[in-house]
Structure 1
Amino acid sequence: MVSTFETDGSLLLARLEIDIPTDLLELALTHRSYSYEHGAIPTNERLEFLGDSILGQAVTVMLYTRFPDLEEGDLAKRRASLVSTVALAEIARGIGLGSFVRLGRGEELTGGRDKASILADTMEAIIGASYLGAGPDAATALVLRLVAPLATAPGHFGISMDPKTSLQELAGHQGLSAPVYELTESGPDHQKVFVATVFVRRPKTDAVVVTATGEGPSKKQAEASAARQAFAALSAAPQAGPAASGPASS
């Protein structure tokens, strides 16, 4: 009798256009929250570590050969955008990866199937599994199928590529002070949750023009999430210089 996982796994592999042994695919889809609730079974974190390296190499070689006129700094920025959590999560959502991830009840109840960090980590784990199960050439081909379409259109992600820098540049363009971040953390060591709040203020009066909050499993991701929210709000608002409408707090 064919198990439900084998059936679902076959559907995912068809979307990925690759063949990975069932045990490896199952491991790649096992989040640590599921492991903690099922006797500390192996998680996808080692595969994630492997996949991260394979992803980086494949993208680096692709950019180097596809864009012979780009300087080293531009190549580095383009690579960072393509291997970012945001890019990988976007790819994962495009193939419906969230519905296949094995999550613990807590993550399930808090929207873990659409969390960028979980989706990106699982995507890397699948790349690692493809390397072990199908070989290096197949793994590289998988990365290129998933990532290459973004390489010629990095603006597709806009602010998501470097949210903190983009927010700082936008604030400066509008004559505002540099964004300031405040950070809190909670949860056990194995499942920390960081919450970042960013404030963008007017110079001189110090009135808050925009504030936004974001969370994530690391300080970096929480601050990036907050910066994306603030960027969107600041972009949509009237120009925040002296002529901006709306009351200023004193």
Structure 2
Amino acid sequence: MQVDIKKLEDSIGIKFKDYDLFTAALTHKSYTAEYGGEKWNERLEFLGDSILSAIVVGHLYKRFPELAEGELSRIKSQLVSRKVLAQWAKELDIGKYVFISSGEESSGGRLRESMLANTLEALLGAIYLEKGFSTIKDFVVSRFCQKIDTLVDTDYKSRFQEIVQGKYRVLPVYKVIKETGPEHSKIFEIEVRVKKQVLGRGFGRNKKESQQEAAKSALRKLRLL
């Protein structure tokens, strides 16, 4: 398969001077085993993983000054997970540009989550070596860290619990205070208390959704959203 990696430059908005470095970032070890070559992307993957973690952690630290270490760690783990990285790689269409062996090609390796995530990390490592920390930081924050809000906003309950445990050394207590509607389409109203004080109420089609809304309400009351 012919690969025009210049199109990937257009996709990521970064031009490389060192095409050997750029190509190495996109080369899987299986390709060199079959076709020869001395450079593949495992070392760049290691570098990119470390660079990405540093940028994400720094961004989280500044973005959420009220969150404890455990909650920051949870968000960071989600953000740099294989699933999320593979999705970002798909958005950049990285799979089209990876150099892989014929065996990997026939087995669907080009679309494998691990292949996509690892190649993305290698590409980040290459961008760092080519352009420096400032450029890779801007690239990650502008193109990737926007996903942070999505991850945080979908789990208000965990965020609220982390804050309450850190500040009060107790767990929030959720209680159903009303159920309305027919059996097949109920609406639950739930309140959340901390040390017997009601801090939030939420409505939802099930208890889990209502608890999330109650936690969201509490965070807003505490001016943490």
Contact 2:75 2:152 in 1 (8 A): no
Structure 1 unaligned residues grouped into runs of 5+: 159-250
TM-score, length basis structure 2: 0.64
Pairing 1:87–2:84 present:
yes
- Residue 9 of structure 1 is matched in structure 2 by 5
Structure-2 separation of matches of 1:98 and 1:155? 28
Structure-2 separation of matches of 1:48 and 1:97? 14
Pairing 1:26–2:36 present:
no
- Residue 133 of structure 1 is matched in structure 2 by 130
Structure-2 separation of matches of 1:156 and 1:87? 16
- Residue 145 of structure 2 is matched in structure 1 by 148
Code of the residue aligned with 2:12 in structure 1: it is L
Pairing 1:71–2:68 present:
yes
Q: Deviations over 1:72-114 (max 9, x none)?
A: 1110000001111111100000111100000101110011111
Structure 2 unaligned residues grouped into runs of 5+: 156-225
Structure-2 separation of matches of 1:156 and 1:114? 29
Contact 1:29 1:100 in 2 (8 A): yes
Based on CA coordinates, which of the two structures has the bigger radius of gyration? Answer: 2
TM-score, length basis structure 1: 0.58
Moved over 2 A (4+): 155-158
**For this pair of structures, how many residues does the alignment match?**
153
Pairing 1:50–2:47 present:
yes
Q: CA RMSD in A?
A: 1.8
Q: Deviations over 1:165-205 (max 9, x none)?
A: xxxxxxxxxxxxxxxxxxxxxxxxxxxxxxxxxxxxxxxxx
- Residue 94 of structure 2 is matched in structure 1 by 97
Following TM superposition, by how much is the alpha carbon of 1:18 offset from its aligned partner in structure 2, in angstroms?
1.5
Structure-2 separation of matches of 1:157 and 1:93? 22
